Amino acid sequence: MLKTADFVIAKNRALNQNVYEMVLTGAADFSVAAGQFVNLSLPGKFLRRPFGVCDYTADSITLLYKVAGGGTADMAAMAAGTVLNVMLPLGNGFTLGAIPAGTGDVLLAAGGTGAAPIYCLTKTLIERGFRPRVALGFNGRDDAFYLAEFRALAADVEVYSVSGELGEKGFPTRALEKEPGYYFACGPQGMLDAFAGTGLPGQLSYESRMGCGFGVCMGCTMVTRKGARRICADGPVFLAEDILL
Ligand SMILES: Cc1cc2nc3c(=O)[nH]c(=O)nc-3n(C[C@H](O)[C@H](O)[C@H](O)COP(=O)(O)OP(=O)(O)OC[C@H]3O[C@@H](n4cnc5c(N)ncnc54)[C@H](O)[C@@H]3O)c2cc1C
Ligand code: FES
């Protein structure tokens, strides 16, 4: 059930020069699932800021965020003990039941901070007996993060970088050279369009500027093959077959 609650920052650490991990602890009466997101109220900011859930326990949520503007710059400077109001759970999340029975090769692809929901999904799928292939994409070596965390999940991790400094040169779309039975992807629009353009079955997690974050203002509408859909409430995850390119 949608709720807002005060959470306390338990940890806020830099993963590289621009990306941070924030662990928030709070009341234990919330539920989230892989692919869902939270909306943080930040002091002095009118609109809440949306972030995908990277991990969660009974009383904590982990977020990965990139400093992209004023709100995230403020977050990077926040000390442990700071209280933030969190709205959760938001969005539909990934539909695991859509993976056809018997699918062996499930590919999970992330570009940049798209790694947050993909980490949560990797963990969930491994708990359910899958051994997914994970493709992580970064611009260069200095932009990389969470490689050890993904490897610790015992997933098969492939790394791609635009500069070629780390892993294979190119985008995580290169992981499609070995055609997966099913895929999940989260990252920049161009990467999602490339995945959707393959015609392969899968799910894509989208971002857009948001107003309310819970389906009321229509500020995040995207046109799909099934008509106009709200990214915050009908998404952020959409079936690849519904994407209009
Ligand atoms: C469903 C969803 C999940 C997201 N998950 C993550 C995540 O896990 N990690 C992460 O680093 N970022 C994530 N983002 C993007 C993140 O919300 C923005 O980078 C952040 O809101 C920027 O805030 P700002 O104040 O620093 O930037 P500013 O540019 O100062 O923000 C101004 C306004 O624009 C909005 N805005 C700016 N950029 C974006 C963006 N890319 N998407 C949506 N709204 C934006 C802000 O929320 C704010 O309302 C997600 C966005 C969505 C919609
Ligand atoms: S942000 Fe208001 S409907 Fe999606």
Look at residues 63, 90, 117 and tell me which one is the last residue of a structural domain.
90
Q: Which residues contact 59 (CB under 8 A, 6 or more apart)?
A: 25, 26, 27, 28
Q: Model pTM? A: 0.97
The answer on 105 and 52 residing in a single domain is no
The pLDDT of residue 110: 98
The answer on 108 and 76 residing in a single domain is no
Ligand 1 pocket member 230 (CB < 6 A):
no
The answer on 179 and 137 residing in a single domain is yes
> What is the 174 CA–ligand 2 centroid distance (Å)?
33
Q: Which residues contact 137 (CB under 8 A, 6 or more apart)?
A: 109, 110, 111, 112, 159, 160, 161, 162, 171, 172, 187, 191
215 falls in which pLDDT band (50, 70, 90)? Answer: very high
Amino acid at 9: I
The pLDDT of residue 147: 97
**3-state secondary structure string, the chain?**
CCEEEEEEEEEEEECCCCEEEEEEEECCCCCCCCCCEEEEECCCCCCCEEEECCEEECCEEEEEEECCCHHHHHHHCCCCCCEEEEEEEECCCCCHHHCCCCCCCEEEEEEHHHHHHHHHHHHHHHHCCCCCEEEEEECCHHHCCCHHHHHHCCCEEEEEECCCCCCEECCHHHHHHCCCCEEEEECCHHHHHHHHHCCCCEEEECCCCCCCCCCCCCCCEEEECCEEEECCCCCCEEEHHHCCC
**Residue 184 included in any domain:** yes
The pLDDT of residue 104: 84
> What is the 207 CA–ligand 2 centroid distance (Å)?
11
- Which tops the pLDDT comparison, 29 or 148? 148
What is the C-alpha to C-alpha distance for residues 86 and 7, in angstroms, rounded to an integer? 7
**Residue 240 included in any domain:** no
The answer on 73 and 118 residing in a single domain is no
The answer on 104 and 183 residing in a single domain is yes
184 falls in which pLDDT band (50, 70, 90)? Answer: very high
Q: Where is average pLDDT lowest: 21-30, 82-91, 138-147, 162-171?
A: 21-30
Look at residues 57, 90, 123 and tell me which one is the last residue of a structural domain.
90
Ligand 2 pocket member 201 (CB < 6 A):
no
Tokens of 213: 């974050």
| Total count of domains within the chain | 2
The answer on 108 and 84 residing in a single domain is no
Protein residue closest via CA to atom 44 of ligand 1: 209
- In 3D, which of 38, 15, 8 has the Cα closest to residue 138? 15
The per-residue pLDDT for range 66-112, each reduced to its tens digit, is: 999 999 999 999 999 999 999 999 999 999 999 999 998 999 999 99
Q: Which residues contact 223 (CB under 8 A, 6 or more apart)?
A: 229, 244
Ligand 2 pocket member 136 (CB < 6 A):
no
Tokens of 149: 């965390």
The answer on 194 and 123 residing in a single domain is yes
Most ligand 1 atoms within 8 A of CB, residue of 47, 51, 55 to mutate: 51
- State the chain's mean pLDDT as an integer: 96
CATH assignment of the domain containing 188: 3.40.50.80
Ligand 1 pocket member 167 (CB < 6 A):
no
CATH assignment of the domain containing 62: 2.40.30.10
The answer on 133 and 193 residing in a single domain is yes
The answer on 48 and 14 residing in a single domain is yes
The pLDDT of residue 29: 83
Ligand 2: atom nearest CA of 233 is: 4
The answer on 149 and 79 residing in a single domain is no
Express as a percent the part of the chain with pLDDT over 90.
96
Ligand 2 pocket member 218 (CB < 6 A):
yes
Most ligand 1 atoms within 8 A of CB, residue of 54, 56, 86, 209 to mutate: 209
Q: Which domain holds residue 122?
A: 96-205
Pairing of strands 60-66, 55-57: antiparallel
Ligand 1 pocket member 126 (CB < 6 A):
no
- In 3D, which of 92, 65, 46, 93 has the Cα closest to residue 210? 46
Look at residues 90, 124, 157 and tell me which one is the last residue of a structural domain.
90
Average pLDDT over residues 169-175: 97
Express as a percent the part of the chain with pLDDT over 70.
100
The per-residue pLDDT for range 24-38, each reduced to its tens digit, is: 999 778 889 999 999
- In 3D, which of 228, 237, 225, 241 has the Cα closest to residue 90? 237
Average pLDDT over residues 177-190: 97
The answer on 140 and 62 residing in a single domain is no
